[in-house]
Amino acid sequence: MAPPPGVAADFEAPIIRQAMFRIGEVVRHKHFPFRGVVFDVDPVFGNTEEWWQSIPEHIRPRKDQPFYHLFAENEDHEYVAYVSEQNLELDSTGEAVRHPKVTEVLLADGAGGWRLPPGQLN
């Protein structure tokens, strides 16, 4: 079958997997001491090549997986992080999240996580 007009014959669409984590879940990094609340998901890598290259090669993630935008926090600071799915796991500590943006963007779900307000799309 011929490709659609304007698409190169050797173009290969990326395989898109379903994200493991949902908006509002509290996750933690597997290798670095921070955790955060998911507030957006990219189905595949969506940052700059410069950012990706700045990650040490031995821990550089694959680009063909979901990447998560987090309201992140460590012992000292709150910030926004961009993390690959392979480097995240659910945070099961039950500790309160202190990042101030969480309550500005999300609503508590009553089960220790967060959710988008009604009518707000990702």
Q: Which residues contact 25 (CB under 8 A, 6 or more apart)?
A: 37, 38, 90, 113, 114
Rounded CA-CA distance 76/79 in Å is: 10
pLDDT at residue 20 in the model: 93
> Which of the four pLDDT bands, split at 50, 70 and 90, describes residue 33?
very high
Rounded CA-CA distance 36/79 in Å is: 9
Backbone CA torsion sign across 41, 29, 85, 118: negative
Q: Tokens for 26, please give them.
A: 């509290």
Taking the domains of the chain in order of start, what are their residue ranges? 26-115
* pTM for the full predicted model: 0.82
Q: Where does residue 12 fall: left (phi above 0), alpha (psi -120 to 50 degrees), or beta otherwise? A: beta
Architecture of domain 26-115: Roll (2.30)
pLDDT digits (tens, 9 = 90+) for 36-47: 999 999 999 999
Share of the chain above pLDDT 90, in %: 65
